[in-house]
Amino acid sequence: MACRVLGVATDASAAEVKSAYRELAKRLHPDNHPQQTERIREAYRLVVEAYEYIEKHPEEANQRGKAEPATKNTMAQTVQAPRVMGSSYGAYVSDAERARQRKRFEEKARQEREARKEKMQEDLQERRAQLDQEKKEKAILNEIRAIRLAAAIRAMMEEQGIK
């Protein structure tokens, strides 16, 4: 099973296994795929676990194709290879696990949408409060200008003797 995850032959050399692991690890690293984090993390985790299994059990190197024991995270039921970024990397996930992942993803997306909506509403309320404050300040400044203008006009009228 570990060889299938890495996409190498059951009689592959240690160098071939390491090369396949490095290539997959580079391509599947979650930092390179921010849009599909759950799927990528799961596939990346399986690749790492498969490589670690092969590294920890070198005595089975010649018997990789024969009844290999399942790693702790593989499913005993029928599984399908998910398509990650358009290619099948041999990371096996059951339909039930895929449904759980989709449900978690959808719930997280819904929570993020709600958080963005709340943030936008808070920003809108804050902006409205700012505009109201600016309107009040402008009204006060206009009133002060009007008072100064009236005082200036009265002073001019008094200088000229107009009542």
- What is the value of pTM for the model shown? 0.38
Each residue's pLDDT expressed in tens, for the chain with a length of 163 residues? 778 888 888 788 888 888 888 888 888 887 777 777 777 788 888 888 888 888 887 666 545 444 444 443 433 333 334 444 444 444 556 788 888 999 999 999 999 999 999 999 999 999 999 999 999 999 999 999 999 999 999 999 999 988 7
Q: Are 47 and 89 spatial neighbours (Cβ–Cβ below 8 Å)?
A: yes
With tokens 């006060």, the residue in question is 140
Residue ranges per structural domain of the chain? 2-93
Would you call 80 helix, strand, or coil by DSSP?
Answer: strand
Give the residue from 93, 94, 95, 90 showing the smallest Cα distance to 2: 90
CATH code of domain 2-93: 1.10.287.110
